[in-house]
């Protein structure tokens, strides 16, 4: 897994939806990568309203964003792997024929930098599936999916500041 991609995408989502968590994001992401299940199990914090005796539970977005970013990464790498296998077999066959005829170096083949609408749809579906599995409400899942898609489309990937 590419931790930088996952961390950066999750940080973008947290910055957009829960910026108050950013000061603790590094610690949260370190805990998540050590033990994702434990980080997700402890994703609520208890806040006592000053002197009121009221105790409220606030769900933390950071561990959810990290889990969703992991699912996005897995979706994208799986799709990329399928394309490499699908296109690569045909490409290798053509390159082999050309090399036998011309005896030259094969050209480098670059993967497309932008995600297609279909791939964005697959990413959105992965976010929705993972968000629902984590117990988020449909509204929360939609907001999370919107933030992920925005981050990916903004610069053809999460920012790496």
Query: Confidence band (pLDDT; 50, 70, 90) for 87?
Result: low
Residues 24, 161: Cα–Cα separation, whole Å = 17
Question: Which of 53, 49, 56, 64 is closest to 133 using CA atoms?
Answer: 64
Domain range list for the chain: 3-77+120-154
What global pTM score does this model have? Answer: 0.68
pLDDT of residue 57: 38
Taking only the tens place, the pLDDT of each residue in 96-146 is 555 555 544 444 333 345 778 888 899 899 999 999 998 888 999 999 999
């Amino acid at each position: 897994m590419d931790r930088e991609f996952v961390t950066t995408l999750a940080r973008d989502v947290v910055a957009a939806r829960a910026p108050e968590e950013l000061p603790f994001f590094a610690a949260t992401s370190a805990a998540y990568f050590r033990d994702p299940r434990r980080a997700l199990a402890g994703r609520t914090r208890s806040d006592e309203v000053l002197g009121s005796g009221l105790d409220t539970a606030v769900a933390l977005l950071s561990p959810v964003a990290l889990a969703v970013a992991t699912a996005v990464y897995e979706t994208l790498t799986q799709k990329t792997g399928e394309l490499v296998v699908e296109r690569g077999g045909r490409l290798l066959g053509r390159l082999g024929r050309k090399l036998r005829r011309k005896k030259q170096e094969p050209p480098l083949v670059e993967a497309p930098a932008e995600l297609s609408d279909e791939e964005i749809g697959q990413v959105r579906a992965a976010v929705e599936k993972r968000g629902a599995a984590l117990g988020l409400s449909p509204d929360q899942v939609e907001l999370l999916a919107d933030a992920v898609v925005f981050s990916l489309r903004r610069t053809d990937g999460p920012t790496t500041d």
